[in-house]
Amino acid sequence: MIRFVLIFFFGTICSNAQTLFSVDYKSQSDINVFVVDYKSQADLLVYKVDYKSQAKGNDGLWYFVDYKSQADFAIYFVDYKSQADLKVFFVDYKSQAGWQTKEKKHLLY
């Protein structure tokens, strides 16, 4: 029984899937996101994956779900960089995804 509890607890802590839902209003969001024009301006380089199972860890592999209840995080795309909690840049390849600055990494845990 103790083994089961430890495995369940450890698995819950370590599973940081990045499933997101884009909300219509800032007040509905967990995180406010701004999409920057250049990689060098981003806190996180994001690659949009095709399947939920590919969105593992906290490394910028995002999967957008159809319903807020399915998401780990609700995000709102803001119009100005100064309004953002997190600045992202969408990359073309999975291997390019990842954190540029570790200071904001806690936002997606």
CA dihedral 98, 103, 105, 108 (to 10 degrees): -130
Question: Per the domain annotation, does 51 fall within a domain?
Answer: yes
Question: Per the domain annotation, does 1 fall within a domain?
Answer: no
Neighbours of 76 (CB within 10 A): 20
List the beta bridge partners of residue 55.
none
Residues 37-53: tens digit of each pLDDT: 999 999 999 999 999 99
Range of the domain at 81: 17-108
Question: Per the domain annotation, does 25 fall within a domain?
Answer: yes
Question: Per the domain annotation, does 103 fall within a domain?
Answer: yes
Question: Per the domain annotation, does 11 fall within a domain?
Answer: no
- In the chain, the number of structural domains is 1
Question: Per the domain annotation, does 35 fall within a domain?
Answer: yes
Q: What pLDDT score does 1 carry?
A: 54
Q: What pLDDT score does 27 carry?
A: 98
Question: Per the domain annotation, does 8 fall within a domain?
Answer: no
Neighbours of 87 (CB within 10 A): 18
Residues 10-35: tens digit of each pLDDT: 443 444 579 999 999 999 999 999 99
Is pTM beyond 0.85? Reply is: no
Question: Per the domain annotation, does 100 fall within a domain?
Answer: yes
